[in-house]
Amino acid sequence: MAESAIGVGLIGCGTVGGGVAKLLREQADLYAQRIGRPIVLRRLLDKEKDRVIQSGLADANIVTDDVDSFFDTPDMQVVIELAGGTGAASVFVRRALEAGKHIVTANKALLAEQGPELFALARKHNASIAFEASCGGGIPCVTALMFGLMANRIDALYGILNGTCNYILTEMTGKGKTYDKALADAQELGYAEADPTLDVTGGDTAHKIAILASLAFGVKITGDQVPAWGVDKLDLKDLNFGAELGYDIKLLAIAERQQDAGTVSVGVEPCFIHKSELLAQVGGAFNALSVYGHAVGHTLYYGAGAGQMPTASAVVADLMNIAAGWYPKAFESMRLTPDLHEPAKLADPDSLQSRYYLRINAMDQPGVIAQATAALGDKGISLSAVLQHETNAGSYVPVVIVTHKASRGDLLEAVKRIESMDAIEGPPVIIRIVDLPD
């Protein structure tokens, strides 16, 4: 080893932190060989110091619950932040950057909220922030956007970025489970948290697409600018109708450059995509990101989007890339992070063109469908399919309408009119149908 060891401090020794400690211990020789210098875990900071010591993740004498003691550790050039959230984690990251330490983080909430400030702080102190693990778990999609696809003007991203939601949707579609049953099973298998709110409402996915879209488009986008609908309101009935029409449902993170308007649109919602699409084949807790570049066309990145070892894989790769000395140079010389860019000009959501799936509950009497479709026609929205099954179920029957492309604003107005009709029961269900580019 020509070069000296690089020292690492790890904040947060939960699931992913445990995976990181395990990799650093078990693969120490391989890593030292690859980067030409050993990586030494010098200090672990965790509120539950005793639990960490008992778990045997690391020597007891390097585990601490004292923040000052952690930051006073000598020869600690890199800090891995796995505390999560935007409170203490933010304080830790700022303190480390101000001391000139490089940061590796998996914290999507923090970067989606405070990314531009933190990246700027890093630059100020000649430090770097590596964040592959913040999006797509073990999939090196940040690396692809930052380095591999450099030569492209990126036109669009379509991502399945939350394993919990994708597991739930796969179970609903493939096994006919209700949302509640699929969620309960996901919790039992450890694919969903006890409080799954941030996952199932689309909030976690919104954080990730804010980070990825910032990089892809060279703009500032924060998580709170991303409108997000989750999977928690989905009715199995609609998934079945969609399947009949040739579609699979996915919680998609979508970021599109609106070429004419010079704006970008970013959002998260459950969408129908045609079953023949590669993204439709992404099942269970897996994630994938489709990237459309003006030169390369369509590329797709697939893998485990969460879980102990896949996430640890991304964290340790970042650590090695810093330890090898090239990542700090890349962070400094490539002008990719959102601190260097203007706030995004966001498209008016109502102006977005898409096809839509509508399901209405219509009274089983003459003229109702004509009335409903007339409301769409009055807004210039034409139909590509109507589906109504024979039923004896009662006085209201579900009617599915598939539209051609329409602006969301026009669609919502037409739907409001439909909802107000006497012969229609309850609010119509609206699901966007995404036609992925060729």
User: Which listed range, 89-97, 249-257, 313-321, 394-402, lies at the site for a copy of itself (CB under 8 A)?
Assistant: 313-321
Angle at 69 between CA 67 and CA 70, to 5 degrees: 65
**Which one-letter DSSP state was computed for residue 228?**
B
Q: Distance between CA atoms of 26 and 20, rounded to whole angstroms? A: 10
Of 213, 152, 149, 251, the residue nearest 347 (C-alpha): 213
Binding mask 290-309 for a copy of itself (x = CB under 8 A): ---x-xxxxxxxxxx----x
Binding span for a copy of itself by CB under 8 A among 160-168, 198-206, 318-326, 425-433: 318-326
Total residues belonging to the chain: 438
Nearest distance, CB of residue 349 and a copy of itself, angstroms: 27
Cβ proximity of 146 and 215 under 8 Å: yes
- Least separation in angstroms between CB 54 and a copy of itself: 24
Residue 75 token pair: 């020869």
The rounded distance, in Å, linking the Cα atoms of 248 and 170 is: 9
CA distances from residue 259 to 22, 217, 347, 435 in whole angstroms, order as listed: 46, 12, 11, 17
The CA distance from 135 to 151, in Å, is 21
8-state DSSP, 73: -
Locate 275 and state its tokens: 């079953």
**Residue of 22, 47, 101, 208 marked active site:** 208
Options 148, 227, 349, 409; binder of a copy of itself; rule CB under 8 A: 148
**How far out from the chain centre does Cα 118 lie?**
20
Within residues 169-228, the interface with a copy of itself by CB under 8 A covers 218
345 flagged as catalytic: no
Residue 329-358 contact track with a copy of itself, rule CB under 8 A, x = bound:
xx--xxxx----------------------
Among residues 217 and 357, whose Cβ is nearest to a copy of itself? 217
Contact status: 252 vs a copy of itself (CB under 8 A): no
Closest to a copy of itself by CB, 125 or 153: 153
**Member of 91, 150, 374, 393 binding a copy of itself (CB under 8 A):** 150
Residue 19 interacts with a copy of itself (CB under 8 A)?
yes
| Helix or strand holding residue 385 (H, E) | strand 383-387
Beta-sheet pairing, 63-64 with 102-105: unpaired
Binding site for a copy of itself (CB under 8 A): 19, 23, 27, 30-31, 33-36, 132, 138-140, 143-144, 147-153, 218, 278, 281-282, 293, 295-304, 309-310, 312-317, 319-321, 324-327, 329-330, 333-336
What is the set of active-site residues? 208
